[in-house]
Structure 1
Amino acid sequence: MSTTVSPGAVTAVPEIGAAAPAARRLPAEDGRRPRWQRVLFVAALVGAAVIFMLPFVWLISASLRPREYVFAPGFLPTPFAPDNYAEAWRAVPLVTWLLNSVVVGSAAAAAVTISSAWVAFGFAYFRFPGRNLLFGLVLATMMLPFAVTMIPTYLIWSKLGLTDTQVPLWAGNLFGSAFYIFLLRQFLLSLPREYFEAARVDGASYPQLFWKLAFPLIRPALLVAFVFEFKASWTDLLKPLIYLRNEQLYTLPRGLKVVLDRFGYGGEQQWEVVLAGSVIATVPMIILFFLAQRHFVEGIATSGRKG
């Protein structure tokens, strides 16, 4: 320990790197809620989780029943008919649609994540006149509904000869998204500016600042943007309905529309096939969320701390 002498007092100052003395914890500083509050909180969470899970549990149960028992009351799949999934695989090209959704979703998520990160880095790092006004205009584009730009966008892709291809489903994301630009900018603003200034002094260029410094530091926020957009692309039905005509290019939502038309209303009333296809389309998103859950929650929490 080193000491600093001042008139009439001697104050102990810990050395750099030395462990600070343990602070005395008062009973009021424990921060633990009373047991009844914790029990009530956990019970509320469990109740909410059960309510949100009931539709999916029913979906799985109904997809495992014979046709005449699909809409029977209860949550147990009795009688048990797992052959519904084999019938769904045989009836339509689910494998092709599944792979198409993975390709389109990955391309759309990667395109919007990288492009939005570039724009967000510019708004977070550079200081220039009108920056806040320009950023406000970018955010204002979120107020435009898709229906406003749907026809002009279709005419552009039609002139380029790219209708009935999967390109319009993801290539528009190369121009970024206002929501993800805002999300990533908030994360970038939480980083100390001194990191970037020190790198500039060492001779780093602006692309190097982004790829070698900012990109690794904002990885949780990038993962949030990627998962959000992948989910949005995975569940998007409108764009495939507008642009795709070839059944071999269909994504899962567009394919499920075919399944519903063929086996549901106005079709053969084979609802067990429709429900089995719905489960197959839902499970990959659940798996993706559980794999990315830790980084996903961290990215959302950190992005909300600044601004």
Structure 2
Amino acid sequence: MSFMNVTDADGRRIPRRQLALRYLLLLAVLALTVGPFVWQLSTSLKGPHEDIYSSPPTFLPSDPTFGNYTRVAHTIPVWDYALNSLKVAGTNVLTNCVGAALAGYALARMRYRGRRAATLAFVLAMLVPVEGIIIAQFTTMRELGLNNTLIAVLLPGCIGAMNVLLMRNAFLNLPHEVEEAAFVDGANAWQRFLRIALPSVKGTLAVVAIFSFMGAWDDFLWPLIVLSDPQNFTLTIGLNYLHGTFANDERLVAAGTIIAVLPLIILFACLQRFFFRGVGEGAVKG
């Protein structure tokens, strides 16, 4: 299809002026979203003798080097911090996928007294700001003797209200006829959940996994409050040393930022085909 004959979803031809405006808006959004990351990546690859404040800015380093990444590892134990973050984020993904799927299925497909009240409780939980309950969370962790542990970092976000509601809506979109047929064939609730409902919501599970990983990996405030031993620091807390002590060395800060962002890019690259698939698949086919 040529640039002159682009049509919309209804098959109508889009005028050239309107099409050009759409592309300009897309390019502007792309520059605003991807531009800062490209700048950080370029800065992290520039050597100490290359000007990073040139005007107009240069995105391609004249002599690329990975020395800044080596300096980050020599300045702070960045790989230990990354391993701590990976433990928290990986466990957070597991608990959210399992817990949100079970809770969402119970809210969407099972009949019991108080189901609407339980759904309302999850909605209200989303409206409470984290800053309003963070003192109560800290007190709870202290009473449980979990302060300064990775478990304390994990527990408050192990099952998110938003993820439960996402899974509930995904299960609600599944046709009841398929599950009723399985019930007639003698399948119990666990079998209907594992064999019928869960395979049909892989797209939403991927969304939950990505959001859970991003939330745990990028979290800064809660680990800063509950952790005091540098051995247990997550990556976001450890990289704060670069901003505080080496604020004038932008190359070092940029390298640390890229190290923190890279796992998120890898995760999305692995799950993006499920992320965009949606919830209408699996048992709904055919």
Shorter-chain TM-score: what band?
Answer: 0.7 to 0.9
Pick from 213, 224, 242: which aligns with 1:241?
224
Mapped pair 1:44 → 2:25: yes
Cα RMSD (Å): 2.5
Structure 1, 31-40 or 190-199: larger mean CA deviation: 31-40
Pick from 149, 153, 156: which aligns with 2:137?
153
Mapped pair 1:206 → 2:192: no
Deviations 1:81-136 (A, max 9, x none): 43112111222111111222111101011111211111111111123344323312
Given the two structures, how large is their TM-score scaled by the length of structure 1? 0.80
Structure 1, 145-154 or 121-130: larger mean CA deviation: 121-130
Maintained 8 Å contact 2:170/2:279: no
- What is the one-letter code of the residue matched to 1:292? L
1:13-92 matches, within 5 Å, as: 31-34=11-14, 36=16, 37-67=18-48, 69-73=51-55, 74-76=57-59, 77-78=61-62, 80-92=64-76
Mapped pair 1:172 → 2:152: no
**Runs (5+) with no aligned partner, structure 1:** 1-28, 303-307
**Runs (5+) with no aligned partner, structure 2:** 1-8, 282-286
- The runs of 4+ residues in structure 1 deviating greater than 6 Å are none
Pick from 263, 276, 281: which aligns with 1:297?
276
In the alignment, which residue of structure 2 is the partner of 1:253?
236
Q: Secondary structure at the match of 2:135?
A: helix
Structure 1, 71-80 or 164-173: larger mean CA deviation: 71-80
Maintained 8 Å contact 1:164/1:243: yes
Q: Secondary structure at the match of 1:298?
A: coil
Pick from 191, 202, 206: which aligns with 1:223?
206
**For the structure 1 residues 30 and 186, does the alpha-carbon distance in structure 2 shift closer, same or farther, using more than 3 Å as the test?**
closer
Given the two structures, how large is their TM-score scaled by the length of structure 2? 0.85
Mapped pair 1:112 → 2:99: no
Q: Secondary structure at the match of 2:137?
A: helix
Deviations 1:4-28 (A, max 9, x none): xxxxxxxxxxxxxxxxxxxxxxxxx
Identity in percent: 31
- What is the one-letter code of the residue matched to 1:198? A
Q: Higher Cα Rg: structure 1 or 2?
A: 1
Pick from 268, 275, 281: which aligns with 2:260?
281
Pick from 196, 201, 205: which aligns with 2:179?
196
